[in-house]
Homo-oligomer: A and B are copies of this chain.
Amino acid sequence: MIQIYTGNGKGKTTAALGLIIRALGQEKKVCLIQFMKKNFEYGEIKFLSKQEGLDIFQFGTAQLVNPESPDKIDFEEAEKAYNKCKETIASNKYDIIVIDEINVAVKWKLLPLQKQIELMEMDTDTEIIMTGRYAKNEVLHRASLVTEMKEIKHYFVLGVEARKGIEF
């Protein structure tokens, strides 16, 4: 089955991370594939990369993607991430596969919507979790569970910067 976490609020990636540790606690085999998140010092990756039962594959660059004019490498990395998704789903090796930020990669046209749909239509028993704001209607339509994280109130308006250990 396929779960989607989308919306403009906090908690999409962290909810997927929480599912990962819940699954590891129940001795499931888990895979985390991240679009557009390579080489950045995320606390969760520092922590999770030490855990057994979990494979992590990151794609993208250390630079933020410019949605107005992405670099060639951004497209190439998205394609590689997609291939890795396909391969891991097809392998039937995992109980759970988290595909982080794929919704954003599609929204920014780094990955064609059709390829996300292909992943969703693969025949598998693996639980698939896709995160990122801007999930397309075609994606929501094909999911079994959709949660929208909705920002009601945010302290960034108070001028607070992203904080190590909290936001990343």
Interface centre among A9, A45, A95, A154 (most CB of B within 10 A): A9
Quick one: given A146-B152, A149-B147, A166-B96, are A46 and B26 in contact (CB under 8 Å)? yes
Task: Give the distance in Å from the alpha carbon of A16 to the alpha carbon of B166 in the complex.
Answer: 10
Q: Which residues of B contact A15 (CB under 8 A)?
A: 10-11, 14-15, 18, 149
Q: Is the CB of B144 within 8 A of A153?
A: yes
Q: Is the CB of B44 within 8 A of A21?
A: yes
Q: Which residues of B contact A9 (CB under 8 A)?
A: 147-149
Task: Give the distance in Å from the alpha carbon of A10 to the alpha carbon of B15 in the complex.
Answer: 8
- Give the residue name and chain of the B residue nearest to A27 (CB): B165
- Give the residue name and chain of the B residue nearest to A1 (CB): B155
Give the number of copies in the complex.
2
Q: Is the CB of A154 within 8 A of B149?
A: no
Can you add 17 more A-B contacts, CB < 8 Å, to A11-B149, A145-B153?
A: A9-B147, A9-B148, A10-B145, A11-B147, A18-B44, A21-B47, A22-B47, A22-B165, A23-B43, A25-B46, A26-B46, A127-B166, A145-B155, A146-B152, A147-B149, A147-B150, A148-B150
